[in-house]
């Protein structure tokens, strides 16, 4: 035989028995399996619900875009620094030196600047070697950075040594009775020799850096 249900609190230590005239307890007073808890609290989640209240797990990275998103892709391999723009500081900033020629016209004017300076110095004994580089600079310097670099290098060197040659010839003419004029008359050979060297380097596609020169013209 089954035991009849006992009154509320019967058999529980410390429980106060209900008054005989009080109404029976409602369904919410004794929560059982399948019944909701006390009012004011959310119902418990069903059995087997994952932790977090049934909400989906957060996306990796907290919802932020993956690293690198929104940024431009890196330049292709072999792209020169600066995105194809010329280096800072003019045509040859940061120590850049032009090499090679775009066409035969550039090479011709570069050779005129160097070899022409040597020929001019030879004809005038060192005093007019600047004429040919100046012509190359005015004729092609504004159109070709390569020709401008060769012409400026030759022009700065020839101007300096044209002044030195003129002074040495003047002093040699005044001191003709001494041995010094023999040395002074050899000074004009400097622009002739180095002008030829510059022309040989230009023929190979290289910009020759003249020694013993000044950068008067940029």
pLDDT of amino acid 101: 86
pLDDT of amino acid 162: 93
- pTM > 0.75: no
Dist. CA 23–CA 29, nearest whole Å: 12
Q: What is the average pLDDT value for the chain, to the nearest integer?
A: 73
Q: What is the mean pLDDT of residues 8-34?
A: 53
DSSP 207: -
Element (DSSP H or E) covering residue 170 = helix 145-174
Dist. CA 217–CA 153, nearest whole Å: 9
Share of the chain above pLDDT 70, in %: 52
Within a domain: residue 29?
no
Within a domain: residue 130?
yes
pLDDT of amino acid 89: 41
Dist. CA 81–CA 90, nearest whole Å: 15
Q: Which residue segment(s) compose the domain that 112 sits in?
A: 101-203
Within a domain: residue 139?
yes
Domain count, the chain: 1
Among 28-37, 130-139, 143-152, the minimum mean pLDDT is found in 28-37
Within a domain: residue 184?
yes
pLDDT of amino acid 88: 42
**Residue 147: closest CA among 199, 101, 182:** 101
Dist. CA 109–CA 187, nearest whole Å: 27
Q: What is the mean pLDDT of residues 184-206?
A: 91
pLDDT of amino acid 19: 57
Within a domain: residue 95?
no
pLDDT of amino acid 143: 92
Dist. CA 16–CA 180, nearest whole Å: 137
> Buried (b) or exposed (e) across 135-151, using 16+ Cβ within 10 A?
bbbeebbeebebbbbbb
Dist. CA 121–CA 197, nearest whole Å: 14
Within a domain: residue 37?
no
User: CA gyration radius for the chain?
Assistant: 49
- pLDDT band of 50, cuts 50, 70, 90: low
- pLDDT band of 116, cuts 50, 70, 90: very high
Dist. CA 188–CA 210, nearest whole Å: 15
Give the C-alpha distances (Å, rounded to integers) separating 68 from 58, 71, 72, 81, 157.
20, 6, 8, 21, 53
Q: What is the mean pLDDT of residues 139-155?
A: 93
Q: Taking a C-beta distance cutoff of 8 angstroms, is the pair 43, 33 a contact?
A: no
pLDDT of amino acid 26: 55
pLDDT of amino acid 128: 92
Q: What is the mean pLDDT of residues 20-45?
A: 55
Within a domain: residue 115?
yes
pLDDT of amino acid 81: 56
Residue 135 pLDDT > 60, yes or no? yes
Please tell me which residue, 122 or 5, carries the higher pLDDT value: 122
Within a domain: residue 144?
yes
- pLDDT band of 185, cuts 50, 70, 90: confident
Note the pLDDT tens digit of each residue in 60-77: 555 555 655 556 666 666
Residue 15: exposure state from Cβ atoms within 10 A (0-12, 13-18, ≥19): exposed
SS3 state at 115: helix
């Amino acid at each position: 035989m089954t035991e009849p249900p006992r009154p509320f609190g019967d058999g529980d230590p410390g429980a106060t028995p209900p008054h005989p005239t009080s109404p029976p307890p409602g369904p919410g007073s004794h929560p059982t399996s399948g019944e909701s808890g006390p009012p004011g609290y959310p119902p418990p989640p069903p059995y087997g619900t994952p932790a977090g209240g049934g909400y989906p797990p957060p996306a990796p990275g907290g919802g932020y875009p993956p690293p690198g998103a929104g940024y431009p892709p890196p330049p292709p391999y072999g792209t020169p620094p600066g995105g194809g723009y010329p280096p800072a500081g003019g045509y040859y900033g940061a120590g850049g030196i032009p090499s090679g020629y775009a066409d035969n016209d550039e090479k011709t004017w570069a050779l005129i600047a160097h070899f022409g300076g040597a020929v001019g110095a030879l004809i005038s004994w060192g005093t007019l070697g600047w004429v040919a580089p100046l012509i190359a600079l005015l004729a092609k310097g504004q159109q070709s950075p390569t020709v401008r670099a060769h012409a400026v290098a030759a022009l700065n060197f020839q101007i300096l040594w044209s002044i030195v040659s003129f002074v040495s010839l003047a002093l040699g003419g005044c001191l003709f009775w001494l041995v010094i004029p023999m040395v002074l008359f050899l000074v004009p050979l400097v622009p002739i020799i180095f002008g030829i060297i510059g022309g040989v380097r230009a023929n190979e596609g290289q910009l020759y850096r003249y020694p013993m020169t000044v950068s008067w013209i940029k």
